Copies of this chain bind each other. A is one copy, B any other.
Amino acid sequence: MAYTQNVTDSCLPECGVARFLALLNGPWATLVVRELLSGTRRFTELRDALPGISPHTLTNRLRQFEKYGIVVRTAYPEIPPRVEYRLTPLGEGLRDVLDAMNTWALSIPEPVPAQ
């Protein structure tokens, strides 16, 4: 396993946890999903909602999600262009996972590490 498992041209791992990690890899991926859980978003809206993310990274994550069927990209042939991203039902299913993360984080006693 390299830094990130190559899932592009191979099948997903057996273990569900490993599958999740293979698809939502990197620090930004899950945060992008978090934003999309609020509803359909445009490229700029996502970028603005995720302070620090570069267009390069945002594009990469969205493209990957699209490929895996987590996100649907809709481009409107207008000028200026308008593109909207929304979660598929599969992507919507990630809400439970993110909720679990959130719930767990609330159980952290201190602003760890309390040193």
A positions within 8 Å CB-CB of B: 1, 3-5, 8, 11-12, 15-23, 25, 27, 30-31, 34, 52-53, 67-69, 90, 93-94, 96-109, 111-113
Contact = CB atoms under 8 A, between A and B. Distances in A.
A61 to B, nearest CB: 13
Contacts of A30: 17, 21
A105 B20 contact: yes
A15 to B, nearest CB: 8
Given A21-B27, A21-B30, A52 B113 contact: no
A98 B17 contact: yes
A108 B27 contact: no
B96 A103 contact: yes
